[in-house]
A and B are shown apart, each in its own frame.
Chain A
Amino acid sequence: MKVIEARGLRKEFVVRVKAGAIRRQKRVVAAVDGVDLAIERGEMVGYLGPNGAGKSTTLKMLTGVLMPSGGDVRVCGFTPVPQRVKLARRIGVVFGQRSQLWWDLPLGDSFDLLRHIYRVPAAEHALRLDRCRDLLDLDAFMQTPVRQLSLGQRMRGELTAALLHGPEILFLDEPTIGLDVVSKQAVRGFLAELGEKGDTTMILTTHDLADIERLCQRIVVIDHGRVVHDGTIQALHDRYRSRRRVIADFDEPIQTDIRLPGVELESSTGTRLIFAVDEVGPLISQLTQIGSLRDLSIAEPEIEDVISRLYLSS
């Protein structure tokens, strides 16, 4: 069953730009320019794109806080803006740069208020809260006013707040922004576990591709408001013919003219040769013959590389 369906989704903003001393000119920019999306229940989708691509704008429209300028959207079977209140019960949202917690009150009070607002039965609420407290280590700061929390602590609170009503879909807009390595791993581990159970659909935007590698099978990449890739990371590698690298170090400086199908010499600097390859085996047997091999390593294709190639090409 599809929980998110968008067809031709558009959002235009009217911006006034300076044209002369006083004169302002109106200009219409399409932040989201005809996005099609279909997401099945339980999928974990990475929503990627360079700065200003239209990711946050898309999420705002899907969650019902921003009226689309055009196109059709259904989320959980609802039309987001007109049916926002109904939809709100079924989704959880974290906007990394904003807080949904009560700034002046202890963290625990926010959770309690959310229980009332979402009308969650007390037992159900306690169960979910206990799990989050365990997995996200909240106990140390449950009684601290939110404004005194560190970013990492607050973000764990935000995630908990988004989950206490058991949402079907989780929208995460840069949930790991500004977190240290340990907090990032805590958040990723938590989301991964949630995803494994298979009943929560997740759509995640991030600039940290490690989040994506860890969590998402499917990625949707947008640029200038248009989808430029929708599929697995592997499909992206295939599309850009990303290849593994073989890095060979020799005892003495070496020149070579190895010619094998699917092997390309990328650089040769003194004792080191770097190849981009489809198949590793044949190359290695050749390398051992041309000189005395000291060290050899194989690097998997980097997601960073392929994504930046995608951003640059579109």
Chain B
Amino acid sequence: MGLVTATTDRVTIRNFAEFASLIGAIAASGFRRFWTYRQATVAALATNTMFGFLRTYVMLAMAALTPVVAGYTGPQLAAYVWTGQGLLGVVMLWGYADLADRIRSGDVVTDLLRPIHPVLNYLAVDLGRAAHGMIFRFLPPVAVGVIVFDMYLPQDLSTYPLFAISVLLAVIVCFACRYLVNASAFWLLDHRGVVMVWLFVSGLFGGLYFPIRFLPQWAALLIWLGTPGPSMLQAPMDIFVERDPFRVQLAIVGVQVFWAVLMLWACHVVQRRAERKMVIQGG
């Protein structure tokens, strides 16, 4: 039973339109929900921007030593930092505990009482949240970067749609990873250990702390192909700064597709196992 067939018995055009409107409605609810957290958005934006300055100065100090660092020029590194600071709030690397909270309180029971696959339901909400993030968490820091620094902007028109697709895939890959981290609460009611590991590993493999391509090529390749890390954050950043020719950009997106499918499938399997053995907390 795949993700789609779980909710639509036979895919027809009418079904598909219904399905799209279902996803749209749930995503819109995610968008509106985050719209109500305005203070939190402003606070996160301020933090991300501040760290953006710190990280740009570190990167520029490096770029001052050699004109090209691991294939990135100074302006490209600035763009890498600022798109990263913005995408952090779009893919929502950290601070996602919706599912784990609901597992711990037992409210997850109401998710299961709905005729929709829980992974699909949570994903749709997350897409709405990401759309909100794109406007309110991504654009402001990137604007700051462009205004304050000599920041690289894509020269090739084809980069823009590719970047949009890559961001969407990054959100899906990151969502799936977060879902798995949260779902560990089905087994471990105290899953803080898992969250700690995630906090560290996601920033590192995602390429937030430094571009994965600073590492020796074999290590970079291993992380890129062997973990979902770069696909959930660094991929759209590398596409934005046009570090690679179009072919390689396409390959990066291809790897993202692979990880998106694989991780969603993992969520589906984990969810099914959880439902078979789980105990809903509370009367």
Spell out A's residues near B (CB within 8 Å).
13, 56, 60, 63-67, 81, 84-86, 88-89, 93, 95, 97-100, 102, 104-105, 109, 112-113, 116-119, 145, 173
The reply to whether A67 and B275 form a contact with Cβ atoms under 8 Å apart is yes
The reply to whether A102 and B106 form a contact with Cβ atoms under 8 Å apart is no
Taking CB atoms, residues of chain A closer than 8 Å to B280 are: 60, 65-66
Taking CB atoms, residues of chain B closer than 8 Å to A98 are: 106-107, 109-110, 282
Query: In the docked arrangement, what's the CA distance between A277 and B227, Å?
Result: 80
How far does the Cβ of B96 sit from chain A's closest Cβ, in whole Å? 15
- The number of chain B residues with a CB under 8 A from chain A is 31
- 11 CB contacts below 8 A, A to B, read A13-B279, A60-B109, A60-B280, A66-B279, A85-B115, A88-B114, A88-B115, A113-B26, A116-B26, A117-B26, A145-B36
The reply to whether A102 and B115 form a contact with Cβ atoms under 8 Å apart is no
Query: In the docked arrangement, what's the CA distance between A173 and B106, Å?
Result: 15
Does B247 belong to the interface (CB within 8 Å)?
Answer: no
Q: Chain B residue with minimal CB distance to A171? A: B113
Given contacts A60-B109, A118-B115, 14 further A-B contacts (CB under 8 A): A66-B280, A81-B276, A84-B275, A85-B6, A85-B7, A85-B116, A86-B115, A99-B110, A100-B113, A104-B32, A109-B32, A116-B22, A119-B22, A173-B283
Does B18 belong to the interface (CB within 8 Å)?
Answer: yes
How far does the Cβ of B207 sit from chain A's closest Cβ, in whole Å? 32
Cβ-neighbour of A113 out of B29, B277, B279 (below 8 A) = B29
Interface string of B244-283 (1 = CB under 8 A from A): 0000000000000000000000000000000111111011
Taking CB atoms, residues of chain B closer than 8 Å to A113 are: 25-26, 29
Interface string of B33-77 (1 = CB under 8 A from A): 100110000000000000000000000000000000000000000
The reply to whether A117 and B114 form a contact with Cβ atoms under 8 Å apart is yes
Q: Chain B residue with minimal CB distance to A87? A: B115
Query: In the docked arrangement, what's the CA distance between A105 and B33, Å?
Result: 6
Taking CB atoms, residues of chain B closer than 8 Å to A88 are: 113-115
Query: In the docked arrangement, what's the CA distance between A76 and B187, Å?
Result: 31
How far does the Cβ of B29 sit from chain A's closest Cβ, in whole Å? 6
How far does the Cβ of A254 sit from chain B's closest Cβ, in whole Å? 50
The reply to whether A109 and B22 form a contact with Cβ atoms under 8 Å apart is no
Interface string of B146-190 (1 = CB under 8 A from A): 000000000000000000000000000000000000000000000
Does B217 belong to the interface (CB within 8 Å)?
Answer: no
Taking CB atoms, residues of chain B closer than 8 Å to A65 are: 109, 112-113, 275, 280
How far does the Cβ of B223 sit from chain A's closest Cβ, in whole Å? 37
